[in-house]
Amino acid sequence: MNECYYDKRMDFFYNKTNTDTVDEWTGPKLIVVLCFGTFFCLFIFISNSLVIAAVVKNKRFHFPFYYLLANLAAADFFAGIAYVFLMFNTGPVSKTLTVNRWFLRQGLLDTSLTASLVNLLVIAVERHMSIMRMKIHSNLTKKRVTFLIISIWAIAIFMGAVPTLGWNCLCDITACSSLAPIYSRSYLVFWSVLNLVVFFIMVVVYIRIYMYVQRKTNVLSSHTSGSISRRRTPVKLMKTVMTLLGAFVVCWTPGLVVLLLDGLNCTDCGVQNVKRWFLLLALLNSVMNPVIYSYKDDEMWGTMKRMICCSSEDKSQDRRSSRIPSTVLCKSTDTSGHYIEDGIIQGTICGKGDLGDKGNS
């Protein structure tokens, strides 16, 4: 019968697996890493909080797609918490951790990854439901969206706790991995393959949906009178989602491949040399997402700016917009779930306070 080592500290497992914890990672190097890490984490907290607040404040975002987008921002916010905890429990400190504290450190990271991944899957389902009907938003009720969000976090927490619940190598040292000294190599293979397969499926699904939207939009545009290109909002939303998915896949795939190689016991792959860089790349994903929201969605960016800027700046913008005598681009909102059409309305001025209302010709 194998002996279990629940009462050992992490230095025991690091020594058994010959894992490098960078004992020389002290002094100026440690200060620089902590400063950059702190800056990125503060940006993650502030920017994702703004995204969540924008969805809550702006009634035009009170639809399933934006609720799920806010939940994705919440997952990124949670990832910031996980990275803060990791920053102060890594390097030479790793060897002094108890087994339970190390499980907590890794469990937070695994939970944040799963929450983001499952959330993107649910967004894919929501987009499929709406796009197949050529509508901007699906008919999901608030109760169903709330249930989905709760389910996302339940799955994320469970997946983050799986190693703690028993799938570890505390009772079988020979099965321990190098990157995660108390995780079984079999678990790393399962974890990385599962996520990579889901990545591939989501990319295929979103490409199919995007091609369908483009085809339908071209057909509808050919039947639209005039030269104005209308009914583009479904395409814009799909571009936003695909950009988010693309950033997620690019940032997380290298780290998952490294975990897979470690799980397959590839001793010549040099996984220890690249693990910190790939972890930093994963951190950048939570930094990039709020930038993508604001860059790809004018309404989101406008709402965030209004929350940041003072009222005097808002008034000055109103005065400047009231002097615009020429034709401007207006967007009409459709709260019933049909298309939002982009059109140039002659002789109509859309001030900031009227953005989204129908203009009078």
pLDDT in tens, 39-70: 888 999 999 999 999 999 888 888 888 899 99
Q: 10-223+230-309 — its CATH code?
A: 1.20.1070.10
Q: What are the extents of the domains in the chain? A: 10-223+230-309
- Tens of pLDDT along 134-174? 666 667 788 889 999 999 999 999 999 999 998 998 988 88
Residue 202 has pLDDT above 60, yes or no: yes
Look at 202 and 216; give whichever has higher pLDDT: 202
DSSP secondary structure code for residue 173 in this structure: G
- Tens of pLDDT along 214-223? 777 677 666 5
Q: Residue 305: in which H helix or E strand, if any? A: helix 298-308
Is the pTM higher than 0.75? The answer reads yes
Q: What are phi and psi of 309, to 5 degrees?
A: -75, 155
d(CA 38, CA 323): 44
Contact between residue 116 and residue 75 where contact means Cβ atoms under 8 Å apart: yes
Confidence category of residue 262, pLDDT binned at 50, 70, 90: confident
Confidence category of residue 19, pLDDT binned at 50, 70, 90: low
Cα angle: 15, vertex 16, 20; to 5 degrees: 45
Query: What is the average pLDDT score of the chain?
Result: 76
